[in-house]
Amino acid sequence: MKQHVEYHDLGRVDYKQCWDLQEQILDETVRQKIENRTLPTESQFAPRHFLLFCEHPHVFTLGKSGEAHHLLANESVLKAREATFYKINRGGDITYHGPGQLVGYPIFDLDHFFNDIHKYLRFLEEAVILTCADYGIKAGRIAGLTGVWLDEENPIKARKICAFGVRCSRWVTMHGFAFNVNSDLSYFDMIVPCGITDKGVTSLQKELGREVDLEEVKMKVLLHMQSLFNFGIISGDNATLPWPQQLNV
**Residues labelled catalytic:** 194
- Residue 17 per-residue DSSP state: H
Residue 33, C-beta contacts closer than 8 angstroms, at least 6 positions apart: 109, 111, 170, 172
Q: Using alpha carbons, select from 23, 93, 34, 97 the residue that is nearest to residue 60.
A: 97
Task: Evaluate whether 62 touches 68 at the Cβ level (below 8 Å).
Answer: yes
Q: Using alpha carbons, select from 148, 158, 153, 154 the residue that is nearest to residue 181.
A: 148
Beta-bridge partners for 164: 177
Helix (H, G, I), strand (E, B) or coil at 160: strand
Name the strand (E) or helix (H) holding 169. Answer: strand 159-169
Rounded distance between C-alpha atoms, residue 125 and residue 166, angstroms: 12
* Separation of CA 40 from chain center: 35
Q: Using alpha carbons, select from 19, 6, 7, 5 the residue that is nearest to residue 247.
A: 19
Q: Angle 214-229/117-134 helices, nearest 10 degrees?
A: 140
Rounded distance between C-alpha atoms, residue 219 and residue 222, angstroms: 5
